[in-house]
Amino acid sequence: MGDLPKPDEMYESIDHTPPEEEWEKIESPITPGRYAYPAKDKNLSIMEFRTPGEWSPADEEWPLPENWQQIIHEGFKERLEKYRSLKIFMDTCVRCGACADKCHYFIGTGDPKNMPVVRAELLRSIYRNDFTTAGKILKKLSGGRELTKEVIKEWFAYFYQCSECRRCSVFCPYGIDTAEVTMMGRELLNLLGLNINWIMEPVANCFRTGNHLGIQPQAFKEIVEFLCDDIEEITGIKINPTFNRKGAEILFITPSGDYFADPGTYTFMGYLMLFEALGLDYTLSTYASEGGNFGLFTSSDAMKKLNSKMYAEAKRLGVKWILGGECGHMWRVINQYMDTMNGPADFLEVPKSPITGTVFNNASSTKMVHITEFTADLIRHNKLKLDPSRNDKFKVTYHDSCNPARAMGLLEEPRYVINNVCNYFYEMPENTIREQTFCCGSGSGLNTEEVMDLRLRGGLPRANAVKHVHEKYGVNMLACICAIDRAAFPPLMEYWVPEVGTTGIHELVANALVMDGEKERTTDLRFEPLKEEEDEADEG
Amino acid sequence: MNVSYLYSLLAVIILGLIAYVGAAIGLESLFGIVIPYLAILAFLVGFVNKVLDWAKSPVPFRITTTCGQQKTLDWIKPSTIDNPTTTRGVIIRMLLEILLFRSLFRNTRVEFKGEKVSYKWVIWLWLFAIMFHYSFFVVVIRHLRFFVEPTPFFVNALETVDGMLQLGLPGLFISGATLLGATTLLLLRRILLPKMNYISRAADYFPLFLIIGIALTGIMMRYFTKVDVVKIKELTMGLASFHPGIPEGGVSALFYVHLFFVSLLVAYIPFSKLMHMGGIFLSPTRNLANNNRMKRHINPWNPKVKIHTYDEYEEDFRDKMKDAGIPVEKE
Ligand code: HEM
Ligand code: SF4
Ligand code: SF4
């Protein structure tokens, strides 16, 4: 984070006053700190995208194919024919401005092209010019403009400054979802081979090795065993999870971020400890070793390719149903796309908790259950022995990840779980949680170092709300159910509210979980003492 | 500051003058008969075309924007309207959007207050929009008296309520004044608020000026210049019964300006953002139930994609898997 301004300087510098120049006339959209490195050919070719060779967005001349205009025009046309959403969102916006200040990137940068309405206009202006009667006759008067190379640069700049979080769509009187517009825009850029490596590399990795991080099967197993050693050290209990085991009742899939780096790893340990305490008949898979799906940020075809592994593996292993870990966009894919793309999952059974007997009718078609739904049900039926005081050093607040909130509605389950495993829980202000939640600033494949300026700015609304509860209630732990959050929050908090840590919910669950035969715990999953020893202030 | 509203204002003034002069130099049939018919035709053809065009594209995925708790475990109360799983829930959600502009009602404004970023609830846009649309609606219904004989009972009833204030003579209709007021407020919002001004273009100002023009000419005819309503009704009834004609002795040129503005607005709808009136019904983030995990949604063009199968994967890693003791299909 070398040359970043100090937090108060960054905060002071944010100005929402629009510039003098109309947005159509602002040139050079490529700003350092706000663009990610382009996708490498080796990754693009694995996914069968065009390979433009070495280039940088900062280059004057971009490596566009000869007939780039035709490619975009035809690609646009094809998508209009395939998606009613695109047509409706192109035609109905009245530019009422309701969405303008709802985007965390606009709030944090003040850049007018980060207003959702203008972001969509970047595409809409071309739509008007090329596909509407009024645009063809009235040209600029109807808000149309010609497709130029400058427009392509602008698309690249601003469709990769949208985290597809859908907050804008909550406020739009017509439900216009700028995330959908961004997704279409990114698909069009893909046709030219213009993508970012932070997305394309995970996609290519996942295609080949089964997970975004390119972790090979034997390494996956080693990592998990290593985490199990840690669990043994903390609890005295030895866990032996199985891999690719046929005939297990449940296939458990979670994002690879959960077993790759802390604090995600603590959440992963939490899952394993929970399953062990229950004696659950489950298996992990090395082939379906990724819950997340960066294909969602690439194209619907890429998303389908990566997602296909979940059902394929469930079928091969002959499990009854699938349990999914804590991840945001993973659940957007599972809830809104998986069954449609890769279903029907008629080889699976309607999920039923083997512990409580609860049948998850809400997942009767996809056959996939969210872990907080599963755990909330366990707690409700008193199946877990919990000692929430083991989390007493944490004053917890909860961040609703965008996708579970706005593309699913998973709001109460995580809260119920937290309230049962922690004694101190505080909500952030109303306009920043639940369906109005703010993105971590790094969603949709933007969690890379080179866009740190953008991430810190985009994360400001979230961080500022955390700061509020930190100051008001002494909150020192931010809980979330998303692997990207768990990677994005540590640097974000470090910058804006350094006193606050990041955790997954199942880390908190496992801290509180009293397992049969465990030794007396002296540390939490992070090997830190259960109680803050040097805390001189009297505990309330 | 962006002054593109001046173009729209100028355009509307010029269009008004054209109609005024046109009517005065004897082109009454053009402005009183031909253009209104063409406008209606453009509206019908354009509107139907647009809706059919939308309908032609499928809805491949169910992409509901969920604004409340999902339906899961029995003991967790689902938000049946903001996150509907049934058709009934969807219908209520849509009715609330269409009749009460519910999403707009959520509007907030971001403010940096000292070290805090705050989000204040603001209802102005919602309020102006509601005033505008309902007064517009009432005005349209009231105008049925010019096209249907005998005047339908509900038009009379509406007029009684609308004229409740009993101000002046002829009595003031609340709807007309509200329409003018609300449209003006929406316009001022666009011109004066920096962000609104920044995103507004000629195409945003044009319908507002046009509607202000319609309301102004209407109000002038009713309260100030006192046009001959009987003759006007003769003309409009002629249009409605497909026996068009220009009444003996003529009508005030102001009326032709009014009618021309209305014709322009009606013809303009299908080719502009005013199609939001149709679009809202088809918006996939609002009109679909969030029941994806319960009921399979079909994508008619669901593509066949090349996937990396388990067998191919095992080919790549078999030895490593065997060494690590991970079961494989082919030993
Ligand atoms: C059904 C749900 C509808 C919603 C939620 C809705 C919402 C809105 C909103 C938010 C505006 C923007 C105001 C502004 O900032 O300028 C607007 C403008 C407008 N609407 Fe609607 N509207 C709806 C239906 C209709 C219908 C049925 C009509 C039929 C006449 C209509 C005609 C207009 C007109 C003429 C404008 C002003 C044009 C403009 O602002 O450019 N709307 N509407
Ligand atoms: S809220 Fe919707 S209609 Fe209003 S400007 Fe934004 S996208 Fe357009
Ligand atoms: S989807 Fe999120 S990031 Fe994208 S424009 Fe809307 S609010 Fe901004």
A146: pLDDT strictly greater than 60 = yes
Q: Is residue A228 part of a domain?
A: yes
Among A194, A224, A258, the domain-final residue is A194
Question: B 273-292 residues with CB below 8 A of A?
Answer: 273-276, 279-280, 282-286, 290, 292
What is the Cα–Cα distance from A134 to A143, expressed in whole angstroms?
9
Backbone angles phi, psi at B118, to 5 degrees: -120, 160
Checking if the pLDDT of A137 tops 90, the result is no
Largest Cα span, chain B: 102
- The residue behind tokens 């971020």 is A257
| Same domain for B92 and B19 | yes
How far is the centre of ligand 3, averaged over its atoms, from the C-alpha of A31 (Å)?
A: 19
Q: Using the predicted structure, report yes or no on whether residue A100 has a pLDDT greater than 80.
A: yes
Amino acid at A114: N
Contact A174 CB / ligand 2 (< 6 Å): yes
Which CATH number belongs to the domain containing residue B240 in this structure?
1.20.950.20
Which residue minimizes the CA distance to atom 15 of ligand 1?
Answer: A96
Q: Where a domain ends, among A145, A165, A194? A: A194
Q: What is the 3-state secondary structure (H, E, C) of A202-226?
A: HHHHHHHHCCCCCCCHHHHHHHHHH
Residues B128 and B271 grouped into a single domain: yes
**Do residues B42 and B87 both lie within one domain?**
yes
Q: What rounded mean pLDDT belongs to chain A?
A: 95
Give the closest residue (by CA) to ligand 3 atom 7. A103
φ/ψ bin of B250: left (φ > 0), alpha (ψ from -120 to 50), beta (otherwise): left
> Cβ contact (<8 Å) for A17 and B194?
yes
Judged against a pLDDT cut of 70, whether residue A444 lies above it is answered with: yes
Does residue A532 fall inside a structural domain?
no
3-state helix/strand/coil string of A393-413:
CCCEEECCCHHHHHCCCCCHH
Q: Are A200 and A298 in contact (CB under 8 A)?
A: yes
Residue type at B120? K
Closest to A38 measured CA to CA, from A451, A453, A491: A451
Residue B330 contacts A where some CB pair is shorter than 8 Å: no
* Nearest alpha-carbon partner for B135 in B184, B84, B63: B184
Is A529 within the bounds of a domain? no
Q: What is the mean predicted confidence (pLDDT) over A326-330?
A: 96
Which residues make beta-bridge pairs with A323?
A252, A369
Both A177 and A112 in one domain: the answer is: yes
Query: How many angstroms is it from B180 CA to the middle of ligand 3?
Result: 34
Residue A532 pLDDT > 80: no
Please report, for residues A1, A198, A415, B119, the alpha-carbon distance to residue A495 in angstroms, rounded to integers and kept in the order given.
Answer: 9, 22, 26, 22
Q: At what angle do helices B310-323 and A300-317 cross, to 10 degrees?
A: 60
List CB contacts (< 8 A) between B78 and chain A: 409
Burial B26-52 (b: 16+ CB within 10 A, else e): ebbebbbbebbeebeebbeebbeebbe
Q: Is the Cβ pair B326, A118 closer than 8 Å? A: no
Q: Is the CB of B186 under 6 A from ligand 1?
A: yes
Q: Split chain B (331 residues) into runs of 10 and give each run's mean pLDDT.
A: 86 96 92 96 97 97 97 97 97 97 96 94 97 97 93 92 81 92 97 95 95 96 87 94 90 94 97 95 96 96 96 96 96 81
The confidence score (pLDDT) of residue A2 equals 55
pLDDT over 60 (residue A1): no
Q: In 3D, which of A376, A424, A418, A380 has the Cα closest to residue A399? A: A418
The C-alpha torsion from A260 through A263 and A264 to A269, rounded to 10°, is 100
pLDDT digits (tens, 9 = 90+) for A232-259: 999 999 999 999 999 999 999 999 999 9
User: Which candidate from A340, A362, A363 shows the least CB-CB separation from B297?
Assistant: A340
Give yes or no: residues A221 and A176 share one domain. Answer: no
Neighbouring-strand partners of residue B121: B108
What distances in angstroms separate CA B191 from CA B124, B184, B273, one per listed residue?
A: 15, 10, 18
Contacts of A59 (CB under 8 A, 6+ apart): none
Looking at the fold, whether A144 and A218 belong to one and the same domain comes out as: no
Q: Which ligand 2 atom lies nearest to the CA of residue A172?
A: 1
Res. A540: pLDDT tops 70: no
Distance CA A242, CA A400 (A): 31
Per CB-CB distance under 8 Å, the chain B contacts of A221 are: 324-326
**Are residues B312 and B248 part of one domain?**
no
A-B C-beta contacts closer than 8 Å: 317
The answer to whether the CB atoms of B276 and A93 lie below 8 A apart is yes
Nearest protein CA to atom 2 of ligand 1, as residue: B98
Any atom of ligand 1 within 6 Å of the Cβ of B162: no
Q: A115 in ligand 3 pocket by Cβ < 6 Å? A: no
Q: Are residues A95 and A230 in the same domain?
A: no
Residues A81 and A103 in one domain: yes
Q: Are residues A167 and A299 in the same domain?
A: no
CA A159 from chain center: how many Å? 16
Q: Are residues B275 and B325 both part of a single domain?
A: no
Specify whether A184 is located in the same domain as A236: no
CB of A99 closer than 6 angstroms to any ligand 2 atom = yes
Q: How far is the CA of A455 from the centre of ligand 3 (A)?
A: 13
Distance A173 CA to ligand 2 centre (A): 7
Q: Does ligand 2 come within 6 angstroms of the Cβ of A97?
A: yes
How many domains, chain B? 2
Range of the domain at A358: 202-512
Which sign does the torsion angle of CA B316, B317, B319, B320 carry? positive
Residues B235/B245, Cβ–Cβ less than 8 Å: yes
A177/A258 same-domain check: no
Q: How far away, in angstroms, is A17 Cα from ligand 2 center?
A: 19
Nearest CA to ligand 3 atom 4: A162
Closest Cα in chain B to A308: B307
- Answer yes or no: is A517 within a domain: no
Asked whether A379 and A274 are in contact (CB, 8 A), the reply is: no
Say which CATH number the domain at A97 has. Answer: 1.10.1060
Alpha-carbon distance of A307 to A285, in angstroms, equals 14
B293 shares a domain with B312? no
Give yes or no: residues A312 and A258 share one domain.
Answer: yes
DSSP result, A57-87: TTSSS----TTHHHHHHHHHHHHHHH-HHHH
**Does a structural domain hold residue A518?**
no
Nearest CA in chain A to B321: A218
Residues A415, A494, single domain; the answer is yes
Same structural domain for residues A182 and A210? no
ipTM confidence: 0.95
> Band of the pLDDT at A536, cuts 50, 70, 90?
very low
Cβ neighbours around A521 below 10 Å, total: 17
Decide which of A171, A194, A217 is a domain's last residue: A194
A426 pLDDT exceeds 80?
yes
Angle between the N-to-C axes of helices B174-192 and B202-219, in degrees from 0 to 180, rounded to the nearest 10: 150
Cβ count near A56 (within 10 Å): 10
Asked whether A101 lines ligand 2 (CB < 6 A), one says no
* pLDDT at residue number B192: 95
pLDDT at position A260, please?
Answer: 93
Segments forming the whole domain that contains residue B327: 305-331
Q: Which chain B residue's Cα is nearest to A365?
A: B294
Tokens encoding A272? 């394993």
pLDDT at A442: 96
Tell me, yes or no, whether B216 and B264 share the same domain. yes
Q: Are strands B116-121 and B108-113 parallel, antiparallel or unpaired?
A: antiparallel
Say if ligand 1 is within 6 A of residue A96 CB: yes
Same domain, B206 and B278: yes
Phi, psi of A352 (to 5 degrees): -135, 130
Angstrom CA distances, A219 to A78, A240, A447, A456, stand at 42, 16, 24, 33
Same domain, B172 and B56: yes
A1 in a domain, yes or no?
Answer: no
A118 CB near ligand 2 (under 6 Å): no
A339, A364, A362: which is closest to A413 by C-alpha? Answer: A362
**Same structural domain for residues B181 and B258?**
yes
Interface contact flag, B293 A84, Cβ < 8 Å: no
Residue A214's Cα: distance from chain center in Å? 18
What count of other Cβ atoms lies within 10 Å of the Cβ of residue A516? 9
Nearest CA to ligand 3 atom 6: A168
Q: Is residue A421 part of a domain?
A: yes
Give me the number of domains chain A comprises. Answer: 2
Answer yes or no: do A315 and A178 share one domain. no
Contact call for A464 and B297, based on CB within 8 A: no
Are B310 and B296 contained in the same domain? no
Looking at the structure, tell me whether residues B109 and B42 fall in a common domain.
yes
Give the per-residue pLDDT at A140. 81
Facing residues of A322 across strands?
A251, A368
